[in-house]
Structure 1
Amino acid sequence: MESWATFGGDLHLDLTAGRARGLGLRAALEDALRGAVRTGRLPAGTRLPSSRELSRDLGIARNTVAEAYSQLSAEGWLASRQGSGTVVAERGTPTAPGPAALPPRTPAVRHDLMPGRPDLSRFPRSAWLAAARRALATAPHEAFGYTDPRGRIELRRALAGYLARVRGVRTDPERLLVCAGYTQGLGLLCEVLREQGAATVAVEEFGLPPQQEVITAKGLATVPLPLDAAGARTDLLAGTGAGAAVLTPAHQFPTGVPLRAGRRAAAVAWAREAGALLVEDDYDGEFRYDRQPVGAMQALDPERVVYAGTASKSLAPGLRLGWLALPADLVGPVVRRKELADGQCGVVDQLTLAELIASGAYDRHVRRSRLQYRRRRDRLVEVLAQRAPEVRVTGMAAGLHAVLELPPGSLGEDELLRHAQWLGLSLNTLGWCRTPSDRPPADRPPTLVIGYGTPPDHLFEAALEALCTLVRL
């Protein structure tokens, strides 16, 4: 009987170690229970099986279990409660040793002004729930199985129409790939580029460091393109030796400038002549305020430009839904990489987004959000003009962030970040966005990159107050 009476139900009590040391059954059971409590595997308050249940699970006499419980209760490891049976006692909970010296206490973040993040309280819960109900009611049974790695055809059809109408993208459902956000899409493209012989990717001089990390993690080097008032210097691409370039034509992150028409044409001409690829990150393409819509660069040459979009800012990053409009010759290789990565994205969210777009609810949500974010942007400009007129504010014609250039003599960027921490502010600096380069950084005034999308409405004024305190230090 002892050969199989090793584990006690869900408690997973191993009696073999105690038995190997010559302990009797009761002593081995007591030893196993002490060990489970001592290590925290059975935390204080855990209700133990009755003696009848545990004896049946272990295949030993009920009296043996009852005597073990009684002994451990006397030692303070267990406690018997009227009507609740036997539980792990508080005094039996292990106490982890504290650190020799606690680090200085850091104030909690009260105001999130990190760029590129939406106001999550604006997620259209009611519209999403209604769309999910309609989508689930009409979805075919096969939708919930292993489906096309490119994504559900319902979403790809909806996206093809939406992107053509709103962003001028030239594609069709067969050339669209649904992925787990822009990060995954960029990673898949980099894998294919490396497989096809590329070694270097040109990127903008300032951008999001996580994207640089994705490129280098896939085994590709990066070379920075300088930026000016017309956007990235695409006229310099020919001298980079790159096999691809990643650009943010609609609203460069973080400077906010759009890529001028001549620079777009130069990038496409380079891609054609060099047999290279352009990746268009449509950063902030849907949130524009003071100018006419800037169409997607992809329309200039769909066979040389990959269009990359996402629902991370229009809806929420937690959905992990993005898309790539691919050149015909890249569909097969990229889809294969997606299939190897995770097979497919979550079907229910895809069906829901497709229904949200098809019903017009997505357009209505984007319009409402655009209006709300514009009000916030205008309020930010107003408050800074009143409280800190010496601060130069730029990069706000679109998107969810602004660039704040502080006057000469202000604190350095590292020191500003330390003070921001103590003010409960979370934000970033232009230096954080700089692409690694062999060239020394240009001499420039301290500059903050702050997002105005994240704080909920009731905390927005308090966030602006804390920001004004920081820039006036």
Structure 2
Amino acid sequence: MAWLIIDRSLKKPLIRQIYQQLRTKILNGELTAGYRLPSTRQLAEELEVSRNVVLEAYDQLLAEGFLEGHQGAGTFVAAGAYLKRTEMNTPFIVENNSPKKNDNIIDFRSGIPALDLFPRKQWGNLAKRVSIETDHSLFGYDSPEGRIELRTVLSDYLLRTRGVECHPDQLVITTGATQALTLIAKLLISANDKVIIEDPITHEIQTIFQSYGASLLPISVDENGMDTNQIPHEIKPAFIFVTPSHQFPIGGTLPIQRRIQLIEYAREGESFIVEDDYDSEFRYEGPSISSLQGLDPNRTIYIGTFSKILSPALRLGYIILPPALIERGRTLKYFSDLHTPSLEQLTLALFIKEGHLEKHIFRMKKIYRKRRDFLKEQLYYQFGDTVKIHGDSTGLHLVAEFDGIHFTESLLSRINNNGVKVYPVELHTINKGLYSNYIILGFGNLDEDKIAEGVTKIKRVLLNK
């Protein structure tokens, strides 16, 4: 087909080439709603590629809402997937100079990776190389935005894996996502400003924004993430905060139609969207979901962290700023901590460049999928149809909804006294009362024996409630 071009000399995978070309044509309106695409077999023959290549590209577009399939009729362009594009001004800027652990508790805390499976050997070897082989200047003060070596490999990695469009100068390396969120609050919030935010959403994020004077405007979520139809158009918020690839904690994925609604709303009100992409690397059902940032880099602030992928102990994260915010963002980072530790940055840069990160993610994805499946099996075995599971397609946690149970402080305390710690969804709600029978169960740092024991103990407490 003449309007799709395959270039086998590129490093970019054939699947990604087909996906990106079709995605661009749909977003730009070249392929309009209702347009019927060729069958996967026909397109594969015309492009002289494997049918599986075309199938995966179509599956990616279906998962993100660009396409819709009709049984027996074919695959069609979905309505609402056209987005008027704006030019991105690529910046070229001169470089500027725990809580106590109780080993007897089975802790279902979310967002904790398998700490015992951290790739110590590879990391240690790379850290040794950095310490021995790099110039002595590395041991001095550094630039607030982070090492150019890390920002360069990270911008390439994010484009390839998450569809994030950014120049290395847009990246600011932070000491985790918390610092990134704090920088955003300092950048954008003035006293009594309104922040549009998902409900529920991480309690700590609410606290950070409120501590800088923000008034939170909660928008409820459903199985597709933030319900964008509820956003009031009569106000101009400081920004809109979303977790579009894996809503926390309920787990929905924001489809393209709602993403476009958010972008158009932000453009109309000259606001920014803050995208927290905290654990989308571990997607178990279907293809990975592209970032919202790639749709409008000028309006979206993108936050990422290595705490979930590798280890919270590294304290390495990043923020991608639109061009208009780069200079102020760097200045605030400088006054925050001068710079993020350089040795760790260079070690991570090598870890990514030499392919260790993607190998680690691939390995851990299989392990986490197995743990997730086992946790689901145990929940259904112990509770049958009295439990419903939400948000298990991605990440290191799932949400369990129990019929007839209300996780009060008293009940949670009794579960804890029986050697298990669970986390109520209500902790993270703004409008209270809708999720009193929901709990968050993290499985990343628990082996199967601990998972089975933990679920059994939860049942024992609930049956004696």
Q: TM-score range by the shorter chain?
A: 0.7 to 0.9
Structure 2 equivalent of residue 70 of structure 1: none
1:403 paired residue among 399, 420, 423: 399
Name the counterpart of 1:119.
Answer: 114
Please give the per-residue CA displacement for 1:260-305, whole angstroms capped at 9, x wherever unaligned.
1111111111111101011100022111001211100000100100
Partner in structure 1 of residue 72 of structure 2: none
Shift in alpha-carbon separation, 1:109–1:263, aligned structure 2, 3 A: farther
RMSD: 1.9
Separation in 2, partners of 1:378, 1:302: 36
1:75-224 equivalence runs, <5 A: 109-194=104-189, 199-224=193-218
Deviation at 1:226, TM superposition (A): 1.2
Q: Hey, what does 1:269 align to over in structure 2?
A: 264
Cα contact 1:407–1:445 (8 A) shared by 2 = no
**Paired position in structure 2 for 1:361:** 356
> How much has 1:141 moved relative to structure 2?
2.5
Distance 1:457 1:155 in 2: 36
Report the CA distance between 1:133 and its aligned residue.
Answer: 2.1
Preserved contact between residue 402 and residue 449 of structure 1 (Cα < 8 Å): yes
Contact conserved, 1:109 with 1:421, CA < 8 A, in 2?
Answer: no
Deviations 1:227-276 (A, max 9, x none): 12221022333245312011000100010011111111111111111010
Distance in 2, Cα, partners of 1:391 & 1:457:
20
Q: Residue 298 of structure 1 contacts residue 307 of structure 1 at CA under 8 Å; is this kept in 2?
A: yes
| Structure 1 Cα separation of the partners of residues 186 and 267 of structure 2 | 21
1:419 has 2:400 as partner: no
| Contact 2:407–2:424, Cα closer than 8 Å, also in 1 | no
> Identity of counterpart residues, as a percentage?
32
TM-score (norm 1): 0.73
Q: CA deviation at 1:127?
A: 1.2
Judged with a 3 Å threshold, the aligned counterparts in structure 2 of structure 1 residues 413 and 395 are, in CA distance, closer, same or farther, namely farther
How far 1:198 moved relative to its partner? 7.8
Distance 1:354 1:217, change over 3 A: same
Q: How do 1:265-414 and structure 2 match up within 5 A?
A: 265-389=260-384, 390-408=386-404, 410-414=405-409
Q: Aligned with 2:249: secondary structure?
A: coil
1:226 aligns with 2:217: no
Asked if the contact 2:426–2:436 (Cα under 8 Å) also holds between the matched residues in 1, the reply is: no
- Counterpart contact for 2:192–2:213, Cα < 8 Å: no
Letter aligned with residue 455 of structure 2: L
Structure 2 SS opposite 1:266: helix
- In structure 1, stretches of 5+ residues that fail to align are 1-106
TM-score normalised according to structure 2 size: 0.74
CA offsets per residue over residues 343-387 of structure 1, 9 Å max, x none?
001111111111100010111111111111100000011112222
Which structure has the larger Rg over C-alpha atoms? 1
Q: Pick from 441, 450, 455: which aligns with 2:433?
A: 441
Equivalent of 2:245 in 245, 250, 255: 250
SS across alignment from 1:226: strand
1:73-132 alpha-carbon deviations (Å, 9 max, x no partner): xxxxxxxxxxxxxxxxxxxxxxxxxxxxxxxxxx97520101222221121111110121
Which residue in 2 is equivalent to 1:453? Answer: 444
- The aligned amino acid for 2:424 is T
Contact kept? 1:143, 1:152, Cα under 8 Å? no
Query: In the alignment, residue 393 of structure 2 is paired with which amino acid?
Result: A
Deviations 1:135-159 (CA, angstroms, capped at 9, x unpaired):
3344233222221110011110111
Note if contact 1:134-1:355 (Cα within 8 Å) is conserved in structure 2.
Answer: no
